Amino acid sequence: MINFVDGVKIAVGALKVNVMRSLLTMLGIVIGVGAVIVMVAVGAGAREMIGDQIRSIGSNLILVIPGATISSGVRLGSGSVHTLKASDADAIAKECPAVKITAPNWGEVTQVVHGNKNWKTRVSGTNENSFLIRDWPIRYGRMFTREEEKRAAKVAIVGQTVVENIFGDTYPLGKVIRIKSVPFTIIGVLERKGQSPRGDDQDDAVFVPLRTSQYRLFGTPFADEVQAIIVQAKDISLIHEAQKQIDELLTRRHKIGRNQEKDFTVRNLTEILETAQRSLNIMTTLLGAIAAISLLVGGIGIMNIMMVSVTERTREIGIRMAVGARSSDIMRQFLVEAVVLTVNGGLIGTAIGILGAYIFARTSGWPAAIDPFTVITAILFSAAVGVFFGFYPAYKASRLHPIEALRHE
């Protein structure tokens, strides 16, 4: 009886007899395992990125925007008309039990100037709840006070990108910037936030009190009008209930009849991102199916070459049986050869997959996360492919009759 170590040595020796054929046989396994590693790494990195983006915009978020109404017989899209007021935000916070806090918003993209430097960025009017909802702390400085919000004070909180492009290494607190020729004193600098789910730089922003943006900067067609209301539900399980309550409340407040088109839209931001994640999962599944097909083709190649090997080594099998080898020894030997072939292919494929994932991440900017469990699973799966597709050739070799095998030329 041959032990496992001796079996591996014999298998390696047999595969070395024709190295090129062995390498070509392993090619399907190499491609399949490499594709699995890259696919899983990129998929995991993308899911991690989406998770970071979900966390970056805040949790349990609902966005209320004006739009989807009838004006002169023409249907207008979301955000194309302005029918929301700051008082709607206050009413949502007070009258919707599933809602925690709200933050009305009015903003535009405009130039921000300091000395001889200027930077085009988005200036948003809001209240302190906006930073609580988005879990966006102040790095240094402070938030707006309620008194500053009420009297439309000319104070501003800026993001890191604005600081870098206007002030460089200069300490920005207390400095004055001009927005539409109106001077604003910087009272706070936000922590770095990173990209939004849409790929926008969230740190490229300036925030001022809502009333300041309405009355001193941009003006509003109607008193207290806002462009959007950001809402945070009390819990993720209450998001749909909060959506329903907001819809019913605004329908009453805006006096919208049963058959009338609503002049607002309520969106669940978490649902939008979850939809993107589901699309990613579908793509990952499709790539996995392609990799599985490659492994299947590689397995068939293994079976084919092992069948050829059995035919070529029929006389050798007969000699080994004649000197005492049992059928189980012959079967084990050919199974070991198949497993050695596929495991070597799996190891090469794993190395190529890790390298491919790293190159992809470096060149595309798309994150890739290598999971050790996936690597181990891929190698074990390649061994399983060897056992599965090597079984029939090994069984065929073990069933040869010694006399007939010795007669084979």
pLDDT, tens digit, 9 for 90 and up, residues 346-383:
888 888 888 888 888 888 777 777 778 878 887 887 88
- On whether both 387 and 290 belong to a single domain, the answer is yes
Secondary structure of residue 178 in the 3-state scheme: strand
10 Å CB burial of residue 297 (0-12, 13-18, 19+) is middle
Are 94 and 125 contained in the same domain? Answer: yes
One domain, residues 242 and 278: no
- Looking at the structure, do residues 242 and 193 belong to the same domain, yes or no? yes
Q: End-to-end CA distance of the chain: give it in Å, rounded.
A: 26
Other Cβ atoms less than 10 A from the Cβ of 279: the count is: 10
> Which residue in 219, 212, 243, 240 sits closest to 229, CA to CA?
243
The verdict on 192 and 139 lying in the same domain is yes
Average pLDDT over residues 48-58: 64
Mean pLDDT of 155-179: 91
In a domain, 305, yes or no: yes
- % of the chain residues with pLDDT over 70: 83
pLDDT bracket for residue 322 (50, 70, 90): confident
Per this entry, what is the length of the chain? Answer: 409
Residue 212 sits in the same domain as residue 331:
no
Q: Is residue 78 part of a domain?
A: no
Mean pLDDT score across all residues of the chain: 80
Task: Report yes or no on 69 lying in a domain.
Answer: no
**d(Cα 286, Cα 277) in Å, to the nearest integer?**
14
Q: From 397, 396, 383, select the one nearest 336 (Cα to Cα).
A: 383
Q: State how far the alpha carbon of 54 is from the alpha carbons of 1, 59, 206, 251, in Å.
A: 60, 7, 21, 29
What is residue 76's predicted lDDT score, i.e. its pLDDT?
47
Return the pLDDT at 184: 94
Same domain, residue pair 169 and 97: yes
- pTM: predicted TM-score of the whole model, two decimal places: 0.59
- State whether 236 and 288 are in the same domain: no
Dist. CA 192–CA 160, nearest whole Å: 6
Q: With a cut of 80, say whether residue 251 has pLDDT above it.
A: yes
**Mean per-residue pLDDT, 130-145:** 88
The answer to whether residue 174 is domain-embedded is: yes
Same domain, 363 and 281: yes
* Res 79 pLDDT > 50: no
Q: Is the pLDDT of residue 253 over 80?
A: yes
Residue scoring higher pLDDT (167 or 299): 167
Domain that holds residue 137: 84-253
Instruction: Please give the tally of structural domains in the chain.
Output: 2
Identify whether 191 is part of a domain. Answer: yes
Asked whether residue 355 is assigned to any structural domain, the reply reads yes
Same domain flag for 238 and 98: yes
